[in-house]
Amino acid sequence: MTAVTDDFSLPFEIDQTGLRGRVIRLGDQVDSILKRHAYPPVIATLLGEALALAACLASTVKFDDGVFTLQARGGGGPVRLLVADVTSEGALRGYVGFDEDQLEGLANEPLSAARMFGGGHLAFTVDPGGDFERYQGIVELAGESLADSVHHYFRQSEQIASGLKLACAADEHGQWRAGALLVQKLPDEIVRKAAPEEVAEIIEADEGFRRALVLLGSASTAEMTDASLSAEELLFRLFHEDGVRVYDKMALFDQCRCGLDRIEDVLRQFGRDQVDGFKVEGVVTVTCEFCTDTRAFDEDALSAMGLE
């Protein structure tokens, strides 16, 4: 079997402290997604981080045949909508809707995620597929980065002590790479029985978790996106004193889900009158916001769908 050297999720455990974690490394696959839209660098960086984040969080959730979706809606900043999702098989896709004029107006200012969104909310949705119910968590977009909002979500909603670092950058050849590092301390019996207001204090008193956060924070964007530094080498560099054990990698790949059947289903939901209003010179053209593939439907194609 061919070894997975890039574009993967790698689970790990820190032996001495029992902390668990994930490393996400994205290379060619994230480069394809980001270049497809020719995003401005600051938008490409944001989406690259979001794709790594979606893959990271999805790998901590058990679902056999479904989709994990990360969706951020802005509250007044240049970024109106960001979507990144990953299937249980590892298929990634992502999209950002933004106001170019508003973004240019902030060109001379520090563009944190908080400034680009201008508030809003971040939602995590797990759709297991089949007859299983969807699960969704929502948190306010607060702090300077997507990672800040995720920290807030885990602290308030899941009561799971977590440390998260995201990175995305283009190398000297203009190739985009992205990564994520997540370390978590599962709730023990003491935490589960504690009052909500006591949880943070109990977690902060855990020396092993505090040390892991310091080491996690020391990882640079350059290290997390360096094609010549393997994920295993990065983990050893950070956590070798406490011992680190890695498990099987899961491959991640660029693949949209906008099949012809899905597009036809969407058109049927609009109904014939609305679809006719979409026509330009007798043809309805549909472009996928994720993969930019375009399909055209003439009168014969619309009638074949049952749109008469």
Answer whether residue 180 is part of any domain. Answer: yes
CATH number of the domain within which 157 lies: 3.55.30.10
Asked if 93 and 190 sit in the same domain, the reply is: yes
Q: For the whole model, what pTM was predicted?
A: 0.89
Asked if 60 and 157 sit in the same domain, the reply is: yes
* Candidate from 115-119, 162-166, 217-221 with smallest mean pLDDT: 115-119
Number of domains in the chain: 2
Both tokens of 159, joined, read 């009561």
Answer whether residue 2 is part of any domain. Answer: no
Rounded Cα distance, 112 and 46, in Å: 9
Asked if 289 and 196 sit in the same domain, the reply is: no
pLDDT at 193: 53
Asked if 14 and 57 sit in the same domain, the reply is: yes
Answer whether residue 299 is part of any domain. Answer: yes
Asked if 100 and 45 sit in the same domain, the reply is: yes
Instruction: Write down the H helix ranges in the chain.
Output: 28-36, 41-58, 100-104, 113-117, 146-153, 189-193, 196-204, 207-217, 221-224, 231-239, 260-270, 272-277, 299-304
Asked if 176 and 39 sit in the same domain, the reply is: yes
Answer whether residue 3 is part of any domain. Answer: no
pLDDT band at 2 (very low <50, low <70, confident <90, very high): very low
CATH number of the domain within which 279 lies: 3.90.1280.10
Asked if 232 and 3 touch (Cβ cutoff 8 Å), the reply is: no
Rounded Cα distance, 6 and 9, in Å: 9
Answer whether residue 48 is part of any domain. Answer: yes
Answer whether residue 1 is part of any domain. Answer: no
**Best CA proximity match to 30, nearest among 237, 143, 170, 150:** 170
Asked if 29 and 178 sit in the same domain, the reply is: yes
Asked if 143 and 277 sit in the same domain, the reply is: no
The last residue of one of the domains, among 254, 269, 287, is: 254
Asked if 147 and 286 sit in the same domain, the reply is: no
Answer whether residue 127 is part of any domain. Answer: yes
Range of the domain at 274: 260-304
Asked if 76 and 212 sit in the same domain, the reply is: yes
Rounded Cα distance, 79 and 102, in Å: 9
Report pLDDT digits (tens) over 122-171: 999 998 877 778 888 999 888 889 999 998 888 776 667 889 999 999 99
Percent above pLDDT 90 for the chain: 54
